[in-house]
Amino acid sequence: MSHEPIFNIVLVAPEIPGNTGSIGRTCLALGARLHLVRPYGFSLDEKEVRRAGLDYWKHVDLVEYDSIEELLEKNNPEEIYYFSKKATKPLFKAEFTRGCWLVFGRETAGLDDDLMERNLDRLLTLPIYSEHVRSLNLSNAATAVAYEALRQINFR
């Protein structure tokens, strides 16, 4: 970790390697740090990463943890936001600043209910206006949030 990231993206128990790879690419493009919380639904060993065609993966600023508690204890983030389709406060109500933390849950179940309940004041959602769309793809959601954070940080 040679630099301070513009912000941090956290994936808690990601299940789909393509989503994690795409979010890693977004982090690399924007100067963000990617934090992964185990367990994963895939392997991150060099052979698997190479086979998936993630030629940029070695350049991703990546930190891994065994639990969300470990991540919180080691980093003590001052500004942290949690994202869920169950939240009622839209992402546009947040005021993101440099170094903030953006936390996303697993693809199939999202964040744990107890984690969300403990952080209701920091729980955000991306608006979905169609009843035909149950949720957004994790990679799409994380990228949308990342660019909104970047917009706010760079143009405040």
What confidence score (pLDDT) does residue 50 get?
66
What confidence score (pLDDT) does residue 114 get?
96
Look up the pTM and report it.
0.94
Residue type, 129: Y
pLDDT digits (tens, 9 = 90+) for 18-52: 899 999 999 999 999 999 999 998 888 877 776 66
3-state secondary structure of 9: strand
Residue 152: both structure tokens together: 């706010």
What confidence score (pLDDT) does residue 1 get?
45
What confidence score (pLDDT) does residue 2 get?
53
Helix (H) or strand (E) run with residue 103 in it: strand 101-104
Residue ranges of the chain with per-residue pLDDT less than 50? 1
Answer positive or negative: Cα dihedral of 54, 7, 16, 71.
positive
Contact 154, 97 (CB under 8 A): no
* Ordered structural domains, the chain, with CATH: 8-155 (3.40.1280.10)
**DSSP structure string for 63-98:** EEES-HHHHHHHH--SSEEEE-TT--EEGGG----T
Listed in sequence order, the DSSP H helices in the chain are 17-30, 46-51, 68-75, 113-118, 138-155
What confidence score (pLDDT) does residue 47 get?
72
Look-up of token digits 């065609």:
53
What confidence score (pLDDT) does residue 53 get?
65
What residues form DSSP beta bridges with 101? Answer: 8, 80
